[in-house]
């Protein structure tokens, strides 16, 4: 009798993987015909890692595969090459440059540099050779050349970093080596001109320095010396207060130094200098129409101004706003004095007899100014006054960033060094430090002028 086709022995249904019983011709779950299950294909030999087959292969697959060497012929294992060591191409399809292995006698490289190229876990990322230091970045301090050789490279960009002293400062004000933001040029300024000196500092709370100053010395028509100082304080609630103070101080200083040698009386020269400063600040309000459209509610640039002219026998002061001038005698035998009156709410209250000075300056409205330089000033009233001190001393010209911490004339005299008349720059630094030690809530600017004006060529000792 004919035999039924031999059923393929399977334990699970090829269709639904339901367990089967021996002798089943159909799946009890899905009805799959188990007689059509194909026979398993012939097994192919597994190729071992060295490419050799464990047994003979069918004739159609016979290939003369190379067999890897087990040794280098001298009893040592054959060297194994990582894939990264084989020739390759970059992302553009160009061949990667080959990197020859180091000779055994090559001296070891510095660990810090080696770590940039060598692998630590059997992997090496080959890439085109890179310099140890990038051209735009100054070398690290530990590997920097001698200062004499490093100075030209660091200075090529104009300034050297104040933090690491090795990197160049880029156009944005950051060190190309360590990334530190550099202090702005106006954050701290010092200048000495003949016997006069001035120091300005940003303070501890403000983001920028909105003060500015101008100091200089000249000669009167009769040959007598004259010293000039102008100090300006930008109005923070106005637009571009730092530009306003800078423009005013420069214009007033240039006006004084130009008028005094021509024989203009110092008091008249001071009055004209304040007007010149006012014109300079007013010119800043002429902004492009696009700027006004973007910020239509901003105030015009504005600042205060105070100045002094010292000659052989005359002291002239001028001001608009709440910056001040103090007189401090050198021998401290006579009382010091404040030579200006504030254009402020507090001063008006005191002048009207409505409040005492202590009460007025304790009020939160005390420092609201009633006079300033700027296109939106109500009416410009330059104040000037002349004095003839009977003894040597020093003239202190300052913003409220200083006198807030030494308000009375006696407090200012106590903070002023005894040798201020012969060491004005040092003494100006001391006074700025006094304000910073007190809290430095505002920008601090002070100029010192000895009285009488010493002969030309005399300066700080």
Mean pLDDT of the chain: 77
- Which of 56-70, 199-213, 338-352, 430-444 has the least mean pLDDT? 56-70
Question: In 205-301, at which residue ranges do the beta strands (DSSP E only) sit?
Answer: 211-219, 225-234
**Tokens matching residue 269:** 């020269």
Does 224 have pLDDT greater than 50?
A: yes
Q: What sign has the CA pseudo-torsion 159, 163, 168, 170?
A: negative
**Tokens matching residue 237:** 């609630």
pLDDT tens digits along 260-276: 999 999 999 999 999 99
Burial of 338 (0-12, 13-18, 19+ CB in 10 A): middle
Residues forming a β-bridge with 328 = 394
Q: Which of 80-89, 250-259, 361-370 is the most confident on average? A: 250-259
pLDDT at 46: 43
Rounded to whole angstroms, how far apart are CA atoms 436 and 433? 5
pLDDT at 104: 46
- pLDDT, greater one: 113 or 376: 376
**Shortest CA distance to 399 belongs to which of 357, 367, 376, 358?**
367
For residue 83, what pLDDT band results from cuts at 50, 70 and 90?
very low
- Which of 207-216, 302-311, 353-362 has the least mean pLDDT? 353-362
pLDDT at 252: 98
- pLDDT, greater one: 434 or 28: 434
Considering the entire predicted model, what is its pTM?
Answer: 0.62
- Which of 82-86, 231-235, 349-353 has the least mean pLDDT? 82-86
What percentage of the chain reaches a pLDDT higher than 90?
49
Q: Is 63 helix (H, G, I), strand (E, B) or coil?
A: coil
Question: Is cis: bond before 452, omega within 30 of 0?
Answer: yes
For residue 5, what pLDDT band results from cuts at 50, 70 and 90?
very low
pLDDT tens digits along 86-135: 444 444 555 555 544 444 444 444 333 333 333 333 333 334 444 444 34
pLDDT at 425: 97
- pLDDT, greater one: 301 or 112: 301
Residues forming a β-bridge with 444 = 201
User: How far is residue 249 from each of residues 115, 155, 234, 296, 324, measured CA to CA in Å?
Assistant: 56, 30, 11, 27, 15
Q: What sign has the CA pseudo-torsion 375, 283, 250, 169?
A: positive
pLDDT at 38: 57
- pLDDT, greater one: 443 or 186: 443
- pLDDT, greater one: 172 or 323: 323
- pLDDT, greater one: 177 or 40: 177
For residue 354, what pLDDT band results from cuts at 50, 70 and 90?
very high
Answer for the pair 453, 311: CB distance below 8 angstroms, yes or no.
yes
pLDDT at 121: 37
Rounded to whole angstroms, how far apart are CA atoms 311 and 359? 37
Over residues 421-444, mean pLDDT: 96
């Amino acid at each position: 009798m004919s035999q039924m086709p031999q059923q393929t022995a399977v334990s699970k249904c090829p269709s639904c993987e339901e367990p089967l019983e021996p002798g089943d011709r159909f799946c009890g779950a899905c009805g799959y015909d188990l007689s059509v299950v194909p026979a398993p294909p012939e097994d192919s030999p597994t190729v071992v890692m060295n490419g050799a087959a464990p047994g003979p292969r069918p004739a159609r697959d016979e290939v003369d595969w190379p067999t890897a060497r087990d040794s280098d012929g001298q009893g040592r294992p054959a060297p194994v090459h990582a894939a990264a060591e084989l020739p390759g191409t970059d992302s553009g399809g160009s061949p990667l440059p080959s990197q020859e292995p180091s000779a055994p006698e090559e001296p070891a490289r510095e660990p810090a540099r080696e770590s940039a190229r060598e692998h630590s876990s059997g992997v090496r990322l080959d890439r085109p050779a890179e310099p140890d230091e990038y051209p735009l970045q100054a070398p690290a301090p530990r590997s920097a050349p001698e200062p004499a050789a490093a100075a030209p490279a660091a200075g090529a960009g104009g300034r050297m970093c104040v933090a690491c002293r090795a990197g160049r400062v880029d156009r944005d004000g950051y060190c190309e080596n360590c990334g530190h933001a550099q202090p702005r040029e106006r954050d701290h300024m010092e200048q000495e001109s003949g016997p006069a000196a001035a120091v300005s500092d940003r303070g501890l709370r403000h983001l920028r320095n909105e003060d500015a100053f101008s100091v200089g010395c000249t000669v009167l028509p009769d040959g007598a010396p004259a010293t000039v100082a102008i100090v300006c304080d930008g109005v923070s609630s106005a637009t571009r207060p730092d530009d306003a103070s800078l423009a005013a101080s420069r214009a007033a200083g240039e006006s004084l130094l130009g008028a005094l040698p021509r024989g203009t009386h110092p008091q008249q020269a001071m009055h004209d200098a304040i007007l010149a400063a006012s014109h300079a600040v007013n010119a800043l309000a002429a902004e492009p129409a696009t700027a006004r459209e973007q910020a239509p509610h901003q105030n015009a640039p504005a600042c205060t101004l105070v100045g002094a002219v010292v000659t052989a026998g005359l002291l002239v002061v001028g001001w608009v706003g709440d910056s001040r001038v103090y007189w401090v005698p050198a021998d401290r035998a006579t009382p010091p004095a404040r030579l200006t009156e504030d254009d402020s709410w507090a001063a008006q209250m005191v002048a009207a007899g409505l409040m005492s000075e202590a009460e007025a300056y304790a009020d939160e409205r005390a420092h609201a100014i009633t006079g300033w330089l700027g296109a939106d000033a109500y009416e410009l009233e330059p104040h000037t006054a002349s004095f003839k001190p009977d003894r040597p001393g020093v003239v202190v010209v300052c913003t409220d960033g200083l006198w807030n911490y030494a308000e009375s004339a006696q407090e200012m005299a106590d903070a002023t060094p005894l040798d201020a008349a012969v060491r004005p720059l040092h003494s100006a630094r001391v006074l700025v430090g006094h304000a910073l030690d007190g809290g430095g809530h505002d920008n601090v600017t002070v100029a010192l002028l000895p009285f009488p004006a010493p002969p030309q060529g005399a300066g700080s000792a």
